[in-house]
């Protein structure tokens, strides 16, 4: 149940789907969580490298930016 709730909240906060569209866990898992990328260390900074022709790269990067822009809870 925890994995299901985390998936739904990640999809909602990252705005992966329209507000009136159903968020299907399998779709989010196959398009976003099963990321075909590498995390590399570039001069002490972690960089996520994605494939150039990955069809959901812009969706993932947009969702990641929106989640990172959320205010931190104290």
Domain map of the chain by residue range?
A: 2-68
Q: What pLDDT sits at residue 50?
A: 85
Residue 16, pLDDT score: 75
pLDDT of residue 41: 94
The pTM assigned to this predicted structure is 0.65
pLDDT in tens, 33-42: 777 888 899 9
Which residues make Cβ contacts (< 8 Å) with residue 40, sequence separation at least 6?
46, 47, 49
- Across the strands, what pairs with 7? none
pLDDT tens, 6-34? 778 778 888 777 666 777 777 777 777 77
Eight-state DSSP code of residue 59: H
């Amino acid at each position: 149940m925890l994995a299901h709730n985390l998936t739904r909240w990640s999809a909602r906060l990252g705005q992966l789907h329209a507000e009136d569209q159903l968020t299907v866990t399998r779709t989010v898992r196959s398009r976003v969580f099963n990321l075909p990328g590498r995390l590399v260390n570039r001069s002490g900074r972690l960089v996520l490298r994605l494939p150039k022709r990955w069809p959901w790269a812009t969706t993932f990067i947009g969702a990641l930016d929106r989640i990172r822009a959320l205010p931190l809870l104290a």
